[in-house]
Structure 1
Amino acid sequence: MAQERKPVTTVKLQKMKASKEPISMVTAYDYLTAKLADEAGVDMILIGDSLGNVIQGHESTLPVTLDEMIYHTKAVTRAVKSAFVVTDLPFMTYHGSLDTTLQNAGRIMREGLSKGVKLEGGAEIAHAVKALTQAGVPVVGHLGLTPQSVHVLGGYRIQGKNSEQARKLMEDAKALEEAGAIAIVLELVTEELAEWITSKLSIPTIGIGAGASCDGQVLVFHDMLGYEPDAPAKKFVKAYAQVGLAIREGIGQYVAEVKGRKFPAEQHGFKGDNEVLQYLYGTAVK
């Protein structure tokens, strides 16, 4: 039996950057998914508001509520023994007063038992990151393609393709670091810019579509395991399994066997004793 891992902490994550040990991160939204990811050795688990897409079927993350994030966080944290669990603060839950931001993050930590929260944005939310950090809440930043701002960005577009964007992203990364963030996710950022930002920060960067120079990588669970077999391929995703095909084929076989009266077979049922048979049919089987 594999030896149980020690819990991953903020100190461990910092040491991993310093020693150039890559950090692995995946999303999870339920108990069994989180359990499997944790047992597989993942370092960080993100309860992402991407659940709006892959669990709820929305076109964006915007409809996801705080209560829904807490619900899924509860399921995940019941399963995890080692990985560092982070939960997204959903759309418009950290852009008002600091009191409201602290209250919302506090609910995720207190009710969901998450170890930290993730916020999208740069210098404009640094004051919130600082307040959360001072209150004892570990914060992961998120720069580049920020799904909660997809309509402002004009769609799902590569970020950092010109000098102005590059300068702004570096300024935002530095602002988050100075505010106390423990790590920063870089999404759909050009490889050169991601490498530059990573080299200038003392905290880890976690890339998704940002090249191999980040301190770690994150993928959405359903993307990396091929849960939606007919979905268009994403260039920055590698599918490590084709779970969707296996599920569809398995259910299809079940339907066929039910329709053909092949399931359940004799070995799937239970026989009554003579007393029950006497009661039901008025006779016992010898």
Structure 2
Amino acid sequence: MEKVNLTSGFTLLAFSDLHYNHGVLFSTLLVIYALTWTSNLLLISSIKLSAQLHTPMYFFLGNLSVVDISFSTMTVPKLLSCILRGGTSISFHGCFLQMYFFVLLGTTENFLLSVMAFDRYLAVCTPLHYVSLMNDKVMFMMNISCWVASCLHSILHTYILSQLKYCEDRLIHHFFCDVTSLLKLSCSNTSLAELLIYTEGSMVITIPFLLILISYVAIASAIVKIKTSSSRSKAFSSCSSHLMVICLFYGTIIFIYIRPSSDYSSQYDRIVSMAYTIITPMLNPFIYSLRNQDVKQAMKKLTTQCFSPS
């Protein structure tokens, strides 16, 4: 049975059980994928080349763009293949490698959003000490901690699930190898894996989310105490883009993972999964650039330099 586990792969069915226009969906996803790469690379380049964006907030935002590009690249090409073929095979090792990166990137984005909330808390609530508190050393250490902790978390879950035995029916009704889909295909006892997901996995999501809530409660309290409306507006605008991204990210997670099992629907889960693995990575750079004058000016300057005749 273990030999079968290592040599036999899985089949990703994606949306092959649903009726839809393959051409329209394929073209739409291809455009979204191109926009994701273009917008995030433009944002990363603007942050790197513009001196006024060399601050902790934009440093973390650049990391978030790297996560978004990787998230999209991990899922979209395989999904496009599924649409063309009505399903596509993936090897045993390829499936778990995909799951590893899915958990790694999702957890890293979760941690980065909480770190960005803490950064906004320091900027709004302790503006006079912000530069000394969020110095380069602290900024880099927080960023490295996000990636290292996410890597260890992903290794743990990937290892536990890879040790399970899987039945002959290896049809995954999803467009990537996610944790819940693999648990459903296992023929062995999954109690340890489920316990890990509902304890350590839940903590990885809820603790950063609670830190974000605490940070924004403190930020809201500080903004209310600001006397002038212009200063209040400026303080709120520095957080509004981040709040929108948080709502997009955690809204989809809550819909999929924090709900009664009786409400489970693989069809809706696949659709909602597209939101945070495909749609959100495309929207994030637009949210930050359209609502931030510094980013817009940096992007405008970059595009002018790139397309102006020499």
TM-score exceeds 0.5: no
TM-score (norm 2): 0.21
Give the structure with the larger helix fraction.
Answer: 2
Give the structure with the larger strand fraction.
Answer: 1
- Higher RCO structure (Cα 8 Å, ≥6 apart): 2
TM-score (norm 1): 0.22
